[in-house]
Amino acid sequence: MNMLVLDIATAALPNAADYLDPPHADRRLTDPKKIEADIAAKAADRLAKAGLDLDLSRLTAIGLHNGVNATVHLCRTEAEERAALVATAVAIKDPQGALKTIVTYNGHDFDLPCLMRRARHLGVSFPRLSTDRYKSINYDLLAELTDRNPDRRRSLGFYVKRLGWTDLVKPLAGEAEARVHETGDWAGLEASVLHDLTATLRLAQWWGIWRAT
DSSP collapsed to 3 states, the chain: CCEEEEEEEEEECCCHHHHCCCCCCCCCCCCHHHHHHHHHHHHHHHHHHHHHCCCCEEEEEEEEECCCCEEEEECCCHHHHHHHHHHHHHHCECCCCCECEEEECCHHHHHHHHHHHHHHHHCCCCCCCCCCCCCCCCEEHHHHHCCCCHHHCCCHHHHHHHCCCCCCCCCCCHHHHHCHHHHCCHHHHHHHHHHHHHHHHHHHHHHCCCCCC
Residue 38 has what pLDDT?
A: 58
Question: Is the whole-model pTM more than 0.75?
Answer: yes
Residue 46 has what pLDDT?
A: 67
User: Does residue 5 register a pLDDT over 70?
Assistant: yes
Q: How far apart (Å, rounded) are the C-alpha atoms in residues 44 and 197? A: 30
Average pLDDT over residues 174-188: 92
Mean pLDDT check: name the lowest of 68-77, 167-176, 182-191. 167-176
